[in-house]
Amino acid sequence: MITDLRPYPAMKDSGVPWLGEVPEHWRVLPNRTVFTEVNERGRAEADMLSVTIMRGVIRQQVLLEDSSKKDGSNRDKSAYKLVRPGDIAYNKMRAWQGALGVSEYEGIVSPAYVVQRPREGAAPRYVHYLLRTPGFAKEAERWSYGITSDMWSLRPEHFKMIYSCLPPESEQTAIVRFLDHADRRIRRYIRAKQKLIKLLKEQKQAIIHRAVTRGLDPNVRLKPSGVEWLGDVPEHWEVAALRHRYSQVLGKMLDAKRITGESLLPYLRNTDVQWGRINVDRLPQMDIAPAEYERYTVRPGDLLVCEGGEVGRAAIWVGTLPLCGFQKALHRLRPFNPDRDTPRFLYFTLRAAAISNAFSDGHVSTIAHLTGDKLRSHLFPFPPAEEQASIAQWLDAALEKIDGANECTARQINLLREYRTRLIADVVAGKLDVREAATRLPDEVEEAEAIGEVGDEGDADEMRSGGDSEAGEEAEV
């Protein structure tokens, strides 16, 4: 169906750079003739709405459930603006990033937001698709003003100056019907790919856990480990506190007041250490004197473990930089006897421990800080040296295949999203004629999950919600 689409038979120059050529029978109008700004005051008990970059206008409650954000709106909502179904609401300071859309709900938004109502002849869903295209986002950026990008604001008087293209009403209906259908199909594909990624993640976790707690021999004799998250382990393995096998050093505390600049070295922070990888781009620097190198620098093979944040997260330093320090938020682990213990095996054991909530503290899923005492006291399994090495090598090979499948699936999701964005932009701006294709579409029952699928587009990271001042909008909810 989509591959059969053709351009319109007759086109004209719109005279508007962001629109380019449009079908000959379409109108090109300034937004002041397409929308009416409305400033109705809402009721305090009305639903709070959020204007997001990824999903447009949604109920604030959905945002709160999908992320760790909190409701930061004022208790006094007497000045909040009413939004009716079909109205367009946009965040003045984030319109150029795509924080706008048509509302399906009646509710209220911050008085710092703008509410526009499509006039007769402009279908709300059509203008929703049009205003959420990358082309319109660039045009909104052009008309946004401010000292810096985080202060750019698309004011109503400038929104009115932007031109939009408007097909006949029957054609708008056909376009919306086609795009809704295509969007549902693409989202189904994305959800299927996301489920595969979730399964791959679960498979990866299971493989790691089994390998570091049972080994590679399925017929090995087992014994109770005495550690809840470990369960039974092979009889010939030792279960010991980390202090008996590895040295542990916490990094250097940063003291900005005492930086002299005489012996500056790049240093690693908690955020630089992710599972299995270490960032070395644009590292900050601090004074580490040559006499402190042995204690506060890393060498190839050192295992770095996060003390806070996602406690226990770890990676092995491979010597990317000739000399590099590490901050107090990181533990450095080195085996007392490298011929007996393999850091790569301990790395995988830490992953299994984290998966099993071994670093939890009573009623919470993780502890705030993994102190040196706590880390040294943790019990871990220690197979013989050769077995540690063989398990680590086997896991590297097994996980490489899973990671490859995961990366391939993630690329497919990105391609689907890019295709969806391009398709919507081409159809809504008249580059592809969907009138005939829309008549052949089956009647479908709209799936609730297809409109707001969880995790489809990373909303938790990029959602923006209704604040009470322009400067505070993005941090609100």
The pLDDT, as a whole number, for residue 71 is 59
Residues making up the chain, counted from first to last: 477
CB burial readout 396-421, b (16+ within 10 A) else e: eeebeeeeebbeebeebbeebeeebe
The pLDDT, as a whole number, for residue 61 is 81
Do 270 and 366 lie in one domain? The reply is yes
Strand partners, 195: none
Asked whether residue 147 is domain-assigned, the answer is yes
The model's pTM is 0.82
Token pair recorded at residue 66: 């999908």
Do 163 and 220 lie in one domain? The reply is no
pLDDT at 55 over 60: yes
Q: Which structural domain, as residue segments, surrounds residue 281? A: 216-382
pLDDT at 468 over 50: no
pLDDT at 450 over 50: no
Instruction: Say how many C-beta atoms besides its own lie within 10 A of residue 248's C-beta.
Output: 16
- Between 169-173, 256-260, 325-329, the lowest mean confidence (pLDDT) is in 256-260
pLDDT at 406 over 80: yes
Do 153 and 232 lie in one domain? The reply is no
- At 358 the three-state DSSP class reads coil
Q: What is the DSSP string of 234-263?
A: ETT-EEEEGGGTEEEEE-BPP-GGG--SSS
Asked whether residue 220 is domain-assigned, the answer is yes
H or E element, residue 203 = helix 169-214
Cβ-based neighbours of 139, under 8 Å, separated by 6 or more: 18, 162
- At 385 the three-state DSSP class reads helix
Asked whether residue 195 is domain-assigned, the answer is no
- Between 17-26, 231-240, 448-457, the lowest mean confidence (pLDDT) is in 448-457
Structural domains in the chain (count): 2
CATH number of the domain that residue 279 is part of: 3.90.220.20
pLDDT digits (tens, 9 = 90+) for 176-231: 999 999 999 999 999 999 999 999 999 999 999 999 999 999 999 999 999 999 99
Asked whether residue 412 is domain-assigned, the answer is no
Token pair recorded at residue 82: 């009413």
Instruction: Say how many C-beta atoms besides its own lie within 10 A of residue 271's C-beta.
Output: 10
Report yes or no: 162 and 156 within 8 Å, Cβ to Cβ: no
Band of pLDDT at residue 62, cut at 50, 70 and 90: confident
Single out the residue in 382, 404, 434 at which a domain terminates.
382
pLDDT digits (tens, 9 = 90+) for 273-311: 999 999 999 999 999 999 999 999 999 999 999 999 899
pLDDT digits (tens, 9 = 90+) for 133-172: 999 999 999 999 988 887 899 999 999 999 999 999 999 9
- At 159 the three-state DSSP class reads helix
pLDDT at 431 over 70: yes
Asked whether residue 17 is domain-assigned, the answer is yes
CA atoms within 13 A on the CB side of 292: 17
Rounded mean pLDDT, 47-72: 79
pLDDT at 363 over 50: no
Asked whether residue 244 is domain-assigned, the answer is yes
